[in-house]
């Protein structure tokens, strides 16, 4: 991947792969940086396709990583995300606040302002956030908040606080993005089923894909999808969930395809670039795009997954 198509005349292009943290930060010793030169996918995305789960990291020199972070990544700035978007054939991005930035949303907001309407965001806020701040986030393009229940990533927040945040953002037309692992769902189920805002679940609730797709663990996740009509699911991260691994991530296909076919109007897809905290293998993002037709095998399902659903959730209001 060479020049960033959107680079301003005369400005030095940001190299695709710089792969270091900047400012006072040093990336973690075993950090796997994003792929240095993703392939152009064979699968041609539908016009207007949205990468509905990706992040920006820093650069740390400009947007410092949070003191309470659990990891220090390599910088992954917005200019590189735009290069990836164009290389893969996406039209738009949904940039999700990553835990390494805590509740300081400046890197995401900066990216949204720079995106010319081609990006929306999901923020992390504390209960102390003011209404003025929420309105400014909305004006920048934020349409949701993220609650992270994965303890290796974020300290826990009391549920009554989360419930009050959900109640405050719902009138803005926002939703709550929730990230949890399947083993936590039994304890979270009633809380999630009652949260007073639409829900978007990251990475299918992280099923253990060594368990049967028709077994009780995945059935509980499907029960959550059935429990309310405003739960959406990101059928993302085969590279994170797979035990059989690349190139096919075959063990993830039955789970994702089941959700896509059962809930075609409530699914989203994203790259998860720059793929934080992967161990052992960094995917080629082009190959990830080529995974899509295996989980959404028809043109109609692909149009819903990649265009209509994310546009409804992020660009309709």
For this structure, is 51 an active site residue?
Answer: no
Q: How far is the CB of 180 from ligand 0GY (least distance, A)?
A: 11
Tell me how far the alpha carbon of residue 72 is from its chain's centroid.
Answer: 18
153 lies in the binding site for ligand 0GY (CB under 6 A): yes
51 lies in the binding site for ligand 0GY (CB under 6 A): no
Q: How far, in Å, CA of 66 to CA of 104, rounded?
A: 7
Tell me how far the alpha carbon of residue 291 is from its chain's centroid.
Answer: 17
Q: What is the number of alpha carbons within 13 Å of residue 220 lying toward its C-beta? A: 18
Binding-site member from 202, 225, 273, 292 for ligand 0GY (CB under 6 A)? 202
Q: Does the N-terminal peptide bond of residue 252 adopt cis geometry, omega within 30 degrees of 0?
A: no
Among 272, 284, 290, 308, the active-site one is 272
Q: How far is the CB of 299 from ligand 0GY (least distance, A)?
A: 28
Of 76, 70, 162, nearest to 124 by C-alpha is: 162
Q: How far, in Å, CA of 217 to CA of 226, rounded?
A: 15
Nearer to ligand 0GY, 96 or 260 (CB): 96
Nearer to ligand 0GY, 276 or 310 (CB): 276
Query: What is the 8-class DSSP label of residue 170?
Result: G
Q: How far is the CB of 101 from ligand 0GY (least distance, A)?
A: 8
> Which residues 265-284 are close enough to bind ligand 0GY by CB under 6 A?
272, 276-277
The mark string for 215-254 relative to ligand 0GY (x by CB under 6 A, - otherwise) is: ----------------------------------------
Strand pairing category for 231-234 and 267-268: parallel
Nearer to ligand 0GY, 98 or 200 (CB): 98
The distance in angstroms from the start CA to the end CA of the chain is 34
Tell me how far the alpha carbon of residue 118 is from its chain's centroid.
Answer: 16
Q: How far is the CB of 278 from ligand 0GY (least distance, A)?
A: 8
Q: How far is the CB of 153 from ligand 0GY (least distance, A)?
A: 5
Q: How far, in Å, CA of 16 to CA of 253, rounded?
A: 30
Nearer to ligand 0GY, 155 or 190 (CB): 155
Q: How far is the CB of 16 from ligand 0GY (least distance, A)?
A: 20
Which structure tokens are listed for 263? 């809930």
Note the helical H segments in 141-215: 159-169, 185-194
Q: How far, in Å, CA of 90 to CA of 181, rounded?
A: 28
> Which residues 167-186 are close enough to bind ligand 0GY by CB under 6 A?
179
Of the candidate spans 95-103, 115-123, 166-174, 253-261, the one that interacts with ligand 0GY by CB under 6 A turns out to be 95-103
Which structure tokens are listed for 182? 């399947």
121 lies in the binding site for ligand 0GY (CB under 6 A): no
Which structure tokens are listed for 49? 């396709």
Catalytic residue IDs: 272
Catalog residues that contact ligand 0GY under the rule CB under 6 A.
55, 98-100, 153, 179, 202, 272, 276-277
């Amino acid at each position: 991947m060479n020049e960033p198509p959107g680079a301003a005349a005369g400005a030095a292009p940001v190299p695709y792969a710089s792969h270091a943290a900047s400012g006072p930060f040093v990336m973690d010793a075993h950090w796997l940086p994003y792929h240095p030169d993703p392939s152009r996918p064979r699968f041609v995305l539908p016009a207007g396709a949205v990468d509905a789960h990706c992040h920006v990291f820093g650069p740390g020199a400009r947007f410092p990583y949070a003191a309470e972070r659990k990891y220090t990544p390599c910088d992954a700035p917005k200019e590189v995300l735009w290069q990836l978007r164009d290389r893969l054939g996406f039209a738009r991005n949904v940039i999700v606040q990553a835990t390494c930035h805590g509740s300081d949303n400046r890197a995401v907001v900066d990216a949204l302002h720079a995106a010319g309407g081609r990006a929306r965001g999901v923020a992390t806020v504390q209960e102390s956030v003011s209404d003025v701040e929420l309105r400014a986030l909305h004006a920048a393009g934020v349409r949701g908040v993220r609650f992270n229940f994965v303890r290796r990533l974020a300290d826990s927040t009391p549920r009554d606080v989360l419930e009050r945040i959900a109640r405050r953002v719902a009138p803005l037309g926002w939703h709550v993005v929730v990230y949890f692992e399947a083993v936590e769902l039994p304890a979270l189920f009633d809380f999630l089923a009652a949260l007073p805002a639409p829900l978007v679940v990251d990475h299918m609730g992280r099923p253990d894909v060594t368990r049967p797709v028709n077994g009780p663990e995945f059935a509980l996740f499907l029960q959550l999808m059935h429990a309310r009509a405003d739960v959406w699911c990101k059928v993302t991260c085969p590279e994170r969930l797979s035990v059989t691994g690349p190139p096919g991530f075959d063990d993830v296909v039955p789970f994702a395809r089941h959700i896509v076919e059962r809930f075609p109007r409530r699914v989203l897809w994203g790259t998860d670039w720059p793929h934080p905290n992967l161990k052992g293998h960094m995917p080629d993002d082009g190959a990830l795009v080529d995974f899509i037709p295996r989980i959404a095998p028809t043109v109609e399902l692909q149009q819903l997954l990649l265009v209509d659903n994310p546009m409804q959730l992020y660009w309709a209001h």
